[in-house]
Structure 1
Amino acid sequence: MSRRIIMFSFADCQAYFYFTTMKNTQKVVIFLLLFLAVGFLYKANFQNTSLYPVSYLYENYINKTLKSKLVPPQNNSEPAEKDLSPSDVLNGGDSIIYLETTDKLPPTSLVLCAIESAAHHYPTRSVVFFMKGLTEINAEEVQKKHLSVFSSLPNVYFFPLQMEMILSDTPLLSWYQKVNPAKEIYWAHVSSDACRLALLWKYGGIYMDTNFISLRPNPHHNFLAAESKQYSSNAVLGFSSQHEFIWKCMEDFVKNYHGEIWGYQGTLLFTRIRNQFCTMASFTGKEDFMCGNITILNPGHFYPIEPGSFKRYYEVWDKEPTFDTCYALHLWNYANRGDHRAMVPGSNTLVEHLYQKNCPSVYAELARNGTSL
């Protein structure tokens, strides 16, 4: 027979003896007092925790998340634990980068679709959007009104575009400190040209203009995209940080600056520097070319529809192309600036189907609210 050892203190024995000799009414009173005491403690504890109800905790979480996604820490100050700076997000070297160098708000549906499509097709990579119109003052309002569609996408980040910070530690900073934006014909474009070079030099990753709808991941790391048989595009490119090609582009940008010539700091710059690395043969099929350690991607990967035919994106097709060799589609915003064509829900156009497949959240919002978000 096993024996259980139980140890009592002298005080325990006294309490037990006293309780067994009590009358039933006394026991009832003690039980009631204990019950009330437990209830009081529970209530007090509940009231303390209810100072932070679920709705508050949820809002507090959202605010912290939005602050980390929307607002970088102040310059020359110690960042708060909850804040993320652009470098915190970009330092991995594989981010997808977008820029908006005008104050334009809200972003167009195409801009929002570009960002969402990248977030879906690059789920393990950060998708970072720098917006000149976003400030620490209006961040919460911009989020609620224009960017709430991204609340379910954890890899999307928004930051104010601060050019001096972006261009710091590059040859482009001296150019920026001397140039007068008010006298520049194409300031929104050349400032964007400069920022993408600086960001790729410092952090690496893939840059895309905001009129690309991503279709599938691009497996290439150091690449240029051919816009045509002769020209290399600067609308989409990818490089590791501190790549020689990007450094040469920045040097040429400053030394041979001609902001009054359309594309001189963009496509023409990239084509000039590419020609220093290798002599390009004209594309005759679907082949890509190697230029040192840089892949020159065939125009068909991004530009299957040429700029003169951009309206085809906004038409109904009897049989739609599969775009099975495309990583993203360029919708030629600049060519469309006069027509102002946009995706219309229910139109059965090619662009509507692209939205449905690649940016379903943006499409759903447009379907509910018309052609604006």
Structure 2
Amino acid sequence: MTRVLIFCLINWYYRDINPTRNDTNVFLVDTNCSSHPRYRAWCAVESWARQNPDLDVWFILTSLTMDDSTGLASLLLHQYTNLRVVGIDLDILFRDTPLLEFFLSRKWTVDTTWPIEVLSDMVRVVVLWRWGGIYSDTDGISIKPYNLSLNAVGVTSPGLLANGFLSFTSHHPILWSLMENIKRGFIAEEWGSTGPQVVTRVMMEACGTDDAMSLMKQLPFSCANVTIYSQLYFSPFNFMDTVLNFKSDGKKEFDKALNVSYAIHMYNKITRWTVVQVGWNSIYEIAAKNFCPLTFSRASMHSDFF
């Protein structure tokens, strides 16, 4: 009980996003309204804080409360002084953006299977617009300090750009275009209509092409003051094969990624129920042991899987 009370005080102190510096932030967002984020989300958060001590890492929650019964949140906040775990006032966040009317209309909650994901797609673009920096999904792990210039996106599959990793300076015009396109391009029954499809469409328009593959022939490629990087940089493992990230003996594949990649992406939509088996030396386990050691230790303390 003491741990919960202590964390409530910490969470109240950092109730909303209040960066003191632009373009030096890392944002991770949990829009599940859950008071108990999964260990994999905490692993992502810890990895970014650990690998990038000069950046301010913001773990943004839509939940009004935080369950710190495991003590992990308090431990991470104590260990990483660049980490903030914050709530968010969505009405204020979307104010003065193209997404305010769409957000207030609640159309994104009607006749769709993915309202949580749509909200996350909106929030990530707005926080980058306001404060700049890096956005990462909570199913990724930072495996290398980020030393690339901002204004970057990555490929997720042939002909499609990702929105699970984005980096932009604040008020970059591409971000404004993304907000406008999310509002216009929302299709309730279509996965990704406010995510990768929007990023791809906006970049195609900005680069003056109607052929997405043409943007990806020679990477890195720059246009509209944005650099497009190959899939190896931020999501080196293909989403169709991502369950292999949890299979045994993944060291060889992990070492390949470590040579080039800045992060690995676990594609939670596909793998959320895939168990991390402790001791199997899977790609995920190797990454977690090395880049989110406190989270891995806590997750594996009482169980051989999580």
The TM tier, using the shorter chain, reads: 0.7 to 0.9
Residues 318 and 126 from structure 1, CA distance in 2 versus in 1: closer, same or farther, beyond 3 angstroms? closer
Aligned to 2:45, which of 115, 130, 133? 115
8 Å contact 1:314–1:341 — kept in the other structure? yes
Task: Report which of the two structures shows the higher radius of gyration computed on alpha carbons.
Answer: 1
Q: 1-side partners of 2:22 and 2:201: how far apart?
A: 29
Unaligned runs of 5+ in 1: 1-58, 72-82
Structure 1 match to 2:241: 309
Q: 2-side partners of 1:195 and 1:178: how far apart?
A: 16
Structure 2 match to 1:365: 298
Q: 2-side partners of 1:132 and 1:145: how far apart?
A: 20
Structure 2 match to 1:295: 227
Aligned to 1:238, which of 167, 176, 182? 167
Residues 85-132 of structure 1: CA deviation (Å, up to 9, x unaligned): 544226432111011111234211211110011011110111111112
1:148 partner SS: helix
Q: Are residues 1:208 and 2:149 paired?
A: no
Q: 2-side partners of 1:272 and 1:242: how far apart?
A: 19
Residues 142 and 243 from structure 1, CA distance in 2 versus in 1: closer, same or farther, beyond 3 angstroms? same
Q: 2-side partners of 1:320 and 1:142: how far apart?
A: 36
Shift of 1:346: 2.0
Shift of 1:70: 1.7
8 Å contact 2:129–2:172 — kept in the other structure? yes
AA of the residue aligned to 2:68 = V
Aligned to 1:89, which of 14, 19, 42? 19
Structure 2 match to 1:222: 151
Shift of 1:147: 1.4
Matches within 5 A, 1:29-108: 67=9, 69-71=10-12, 83-84=13-14, 86-89=16-19, 91-108=21-38
Q: 1-side partners of 2:162 and 2:293: how far apart?
A: 28
- More RCO (CA 8 Å, sep 6+): 2
AA of the residue aligned to 2:159 = Q
Shift of 1:350: 2.2
1:335 partner SS: helix
Structure 1 match to 2:267: 332
Shift of 1:258: 2.1
Runs of 4+ in 1 over 3 A off after TM superposition: 83-87, 141-146, 282-285
AA of the residue aligned to 2:29 = L
TM-score by length of 2: 0.87
Q: 2-side partners of 1:347 and 1:146: how far apart?
A: 24
Q: 2-side partners of 1:159 and 1:143: how far apart?
A: 17
Q: Are residues 1:176 and 2:103 paired?
A: yes
AA of the residue aligned to 1:208 = S
8 Å contact 1:213–1:329 — kept in the other structure? yes
8 Å contact 2:22–2:170 — kept in the other structure? no
Q: 1-side partners of 2:185 and 2:245: how far apart?
A: 36
8 Å contact 1:119–1:156 — kept in the other structure? yes
1:245 partner SS: helix
Q: 2-side partners of 1:283 and 1:257: how far apart?
A: 25
Q: 1-side partners of 2:35 and 2:72: how far apart?
A: 8
> Taking every aligned residue pair, what percent have the same amino acid on both sides?
23
Structure 1 match to 2:282: 349
Q: 1-side partners of 2:174 and 2:101: how far apart?
A: 20
8 Å contact 2:245–2:284 — kept in the other structure? yes
Q: Are residues 1:195 and 2:123 paired?
A: yes
Structure 1 match to 2:203: 274
Superposed CA RMSD:
2.4
Residues 231-261 of structure 1: CA deviation (Å, up to 9, x unaligned): 1111110101111001011112223332332
1:227 partner SS: strand
Q: 2-side partners of 1:367 and 1:149: how far apart?
A: 16
Residues 295-343 of structure 1: CA deviation (Å, up to 9, x unaligned): 0011111222111111211112375132211000001111124xx1132
Structure 2 match to 1:32: none
2:79 partner SS: coil
Residues 148 and 346 from structure 1, CA distance in 2 versus in 1: closer, same or farther, beyond 3 angstroms? farther
Q: Are residues 1:163 and 2:90 paired?
A: yes
